[in-house]
Amino acid sequence: MLNSSLTQLGAALRARTVSSVELTKSYLDRIAMHNPAFNAYVTVDEKTSLAQALAADALLASGRAQPLTGIPIAQKDIFCAKGWRTTCGSRMLSDFIAPYDAHVIEQFNKAGAVNLGKTNMDEFAMGSSNETSYFGPVRNPWNQNAVPGGSSGGAASAVAARLCAAATGTDTGGSIRQPAALCGITGIKPTYGTVSRYGMIAFASSLDQAGPMAKSAEDCALMLNVMTGFDERDSTSLQREPEDYTRDLNKPLAGLRIGLPKEFFAEGLSQDVANRVQDAIAEYKKLGATIVDISLPNSKLAVPVYYVLAPAEASSNLSRFDGVRYGYRAPEYTDLADMYEKSRAQGFGEEVKRRIMIGTYVLSHGYYDAYYLQAQKIRRLIAQDFTDAFKQCDVIMGPTSPSTAFNLGEKGDDPVQMYLSDIYTIAVNLAGLPGMSIPCGFGNPGTGGPAMPVGLQIIGNYFDEARMLNIAHQYQLATDWHTRCPQAL
């Protein structure tokens, strides 16, 4: 049942051909077997997971099951889950046991889903390769010498390796879409504000957004039905009528206008990725879509704007980790100031400290106007580019990542090259738009290793998730890239 969709698993559970306990145990056994190789999970609590599965079986037996009741879901270790260790991939929180549930966790609990464990991630979601985690790097199931992408690399690796039925992720500058592309799975970042950030440990509050990662668009739609909804505890949560994101999955695509930004197909895009994306566009033409050439002239500024704004917000958000109330505290210090300095120096990793320093700098007196305010103005121009583009097309498509998965350690000494891994995804977060990545073939990494997955990015207008999922689903009905899994598994 490892390759079954969430719909198929739900049907099997309701038909009682398999129990939630049996299904959960099968995934726990796979985690025990394969996680040492991939390092996708940082915390597994078999007793708690099986207790949730037993409760789900009771719901199923009573006929009160919902679509995801009894299905084992992995949770990114950025979501607080009551009684679970919640580390955010950092030494700073390596022993933190969450006293409450994040909104996303509450939603899955209400749906009767089983929490299979907490997945590894770049420290405080800062990274594009899942190499900054205090608990060590995650490995890509397609090639264990390659990165899975980040920061939701543990979730992506777990889904690709069939160590869970589906997983949650978060996306600040591409952290759902980029690892989804590099691991050959489907992932969607919803419109900013549609999923509550309550209980989601903050990196950059105006950019962070939670979303699902799964094998297919249909699976993501079912998960999005659970994850979205107004939450008064989050001031950025949008109060909207509930949606059924599966409602349009089977609509034909005749008349669909696909915008192709010239900036997404310029220098820096590897040829193997470009070829697979063009193949996907050709498939959409067969499905009835028409192509519109568009431009996003300010998208070239997205990376520098992001690396002013995101570190500025991180500098503010991470100031709470001071060694006083909770989290890591240095074992030896002379006074309060020394405790602050040593706790933060020892508790944070190099990438997190780098971004805190950048963020503090751009917010400091004399530089706030020159950097931070200018970046906010350009952010508005980037959003306006998308507004203008959607007057010409229904969705925008292009590559998710400029290359297939690179090798572990390959970009560790060059932060700028690492940051450019998100060059096609960052603008979507700056504008607050929904975006997703779906598998569209395989590329040659040029390293003599196996062919690696390529992701097609689909960008929609605000609150257009249902249409995006329809567009992705129709492509997945016509192709089988989303069904492929690493042969060694």
Digits of tens for pLDDT over the chain (489 positions)?
889 999 999 999 999 999 999 999 999 999 999 999 999 999 999 999 999 999 999 999 999 999 999 999 999 999 999 999 999 999 999 999 999 999 999 999 999 999 999 999 999 999 999 999 999 999 999 999 999 999 999 999 999 999 999 999 999 999 999 999 999 999 999 999 999 999 999 999 999 999 999 999 999 999 999 999 999 999 999 999 999 999 999 999 999 999 999 999 998 999 999 999 999 999 999 999 999 999 999 999 999 999 999 999 999 999 999 999 989 999 999 999 999 999 999 999 999 999 999 999 999 998 999 999 999 999 999 999 999 999 999 999 999 999 999 999 999 888 888 888 899 999 999 999 999 999 999 997 655 678 999 999 999 999 999 999 999 999 999 999 999 999 766
pLDDT digits (tens, 9 = 90+) for 429-464: 999 999 999 999 999 765 567 899 999 999 999 999
State the Cα–Cα distance between residues 84 and 466, nearest whole angstrom: 33
Catalytic residue among 76, 118, 189, 342: 76
State the Cα–Cα distance between residues 387 and 378, nearest whole angstrom: 14
Give the model's pLDDT for residue 488: 62
Give the model's pLDDT for residue 449: 75
Q: Pick from 119, 129, 167, 141: which is nearest to 37 by CA?
A: 141
- 175 has catalytic annotation: yes
- 76 has catalytic annotation: yes
Can you read off the two tokens belonging to residue 123?
Answer: 């420290």
pLDDT digits (tens, 9 = 90+) for 407-426: 999 998 888 888 888 999 99
Catalytic residue among 175, 270, 401, 421: 175
- 151 has catalytic annotation: yes
Contact predicate 76/166, CB 8 Å: no
Give the model's pLDDT for residue 448: 64
Catalytic residue among 20, 49, 128, 151: 151
